[in-house]
Amino acid sequence: MSTSSPTSSTPTLSDIALRAPESGIVDIMNYGRRKGGVMPLWAGEGDLPTPAFIGKAATQSLAEGETFYTWQRGLPELREALAAYTQRLTGQALESERFFVTGSGMQSIQIALQIALDPGDAIIVPSPAWPNIVAASGLRGADVLEIAMPFVDGRFTLDMGAIEEAAKDEKTKAIFINSPSNPTGWVADLETLKAVHDLAERHDLWIIADEIYARFVFGEAGLQGSNPKRAPSFKDVDPLSSRVIYVNTMSKNWAMTGWRIGWIEAPVELGQVIENLIQYSTSGVAAFMQRAAVVALNEGDAFVDEQIARATTNRDLLAETFAPLNRLQVSAPDGAFYLFFKVLGETDTRQLARTLVDEIDVGLAPGTAFGPGGEAFLRMCFARDPEQIAEVAERIARWISISA
């Protein structure tokens, strides 16, 4: 049922459209961009452009006239490359029929939600969470059961008891697990993933597994003995689980945020459904972008390694610079490329993020953007040139000492 409208002249908007909230991340980006000259650490992307060899594959494809409708599920060559890449990461043999090309990680999430939820169903999302997950679930007409992650000794954990309670409701059809997490840097260990999978089996839930930051894992949090190093995955619990839908993206590993291309890995039996959902949304991803993705997957390992090395340097540098500052509550993240920290005594982080833009030209995302449990934090993306991160860390440290 439709209820209201933003202006007197437009017809009434649907309830679903009105459910889409403004993003707290976009809010601070708009604020900072108006000022100009701000170090943009508010969004989840780095400073490196896509490597030239990846872009070249796209321009070559265009020059060769690959400008026609393409496969709904993705070019066979790209699906093969995705299977081979995932196989290199996990050591598990995978058929390319499990892989589906999408128009971004975000579209992968939308499709997974369409598969799992009808309007009126509910989904469990541990919080703090990337806001788009919650908003996209709301746009599906679903109730989002945001379960606050307890913050104990500087680390977030899953509240399995609260999740079990939420799972008991017969409207609950899915659980969204993002590990390594944006924004908290939390990395689920194998035991936790197994407990979530068992719970999903007990309550017949889908698991939407967002493991897009799997390569960004630090210290002991990485799967021991894995080559290349990666975070634990639901694949280590049950490689071909019939209830796990993996959402993924080219955006982060290969610095392709602006391209809008991602993928889903799902049980082969979902193939026709996914093909249909793609047909009636984007009808497929441009062939020239897919050609670039093939090259990124097959030849991009050195670039990914470089990004991981920079993130590791920055994570350690930030932890070292901030550790002596009593007004900051901070732990080095186990994964992803965000520092999620508190400035003690500051309660309004939306205002605090604006103050940091105004006074020291540093753009951070306010914790208010990330739901229950995140309000008191700020998020800094550190996928960037270490010299710039060192400069930002100094500016924040100086600001903290004079603003106390």
Ligand X SMILES: Cc1ncc(COP(=O)(O)O)c(C=O)c1O
Q: How far is the CB of 344 from ligand X (least distance, A)?
A: 27
Nearer to ligand X, 74 or 203 (CB): 74
Residue 262 touches ligand X, criterion: CB under 6 A: yes
Please choose, out of 34-42, 103-111, 157-165, 377-385, the segment that lies near ligand X by the rule CB under 6 A: 103-111
The residues with which 338 forms a beta bridge, in sequence order, are: 381
* Rounded distance between C-alpha atoms, residue 303 and residue 309, angstroms: 10
> Using the rule CB under 6 A, which residue among 27, 121, 210, 334 binds ligand X?
210
Residue 105 touches ligand X, criterion: CB under 6 A: yes
> Using the rule CB under 6 A, which residue among 125, 212, 289, 296 binds ligand X?
212
> Using the rule CB under 6 A, which residue among 130, 218, 377, 382 binds ligand X?
130
Cα 360 to Cα 35, 263, 323, 324, 398: the distances in Å are: 12, 38, 20, 20, 10
Please choose, out of 104-112, 184-192, 238-246, 368-376, the segment that lies near ligand X by the rule CB under 6 A: 104-112
Q: How far is the CB of 11 from ligand X (least distance, A)?
A: 30
Q: How far is the CB of 345 from ligand X (least distance, A)?
A: 29
Residue 103 touches ligand X, criterion: CB under 6 A: no
> Using the rule CB under 6 A, which residue among 72, 110, 179, 251 binds ligand X?
251
* Rounded distance between C-alpha atoms, residue 246 and residue 90, angstroms: 14
341, 328 contact by CB (below 8 A): yes
* Rounded distance between C-alpha atoms, residue 293 and residue 254, angstroms: 9
* Rounded distance between C-alpha atoms, residue 289 and residue 317, angstroms: 36
Give the interface size with ligand X as a residue count (CB under 6 A): 13
Q: How far is the CB of 1 from ligand X (least distance, A)?
A: 31
Name the nearest CA neighbour of 209 among 256, 164, 267: 267
* Rounded distance between C-alpha atoms, residue 386 and residue 310, angstroms: 7
* Rounded distance between C-alpha atoms, residue 69 and residue 377, angstroms: 45
In the complex, the residues that contact ligand X under the rule CB under 6 A are 44, 104-106, 130, 178, 182, 210, 212, 249, 251, 257, 262
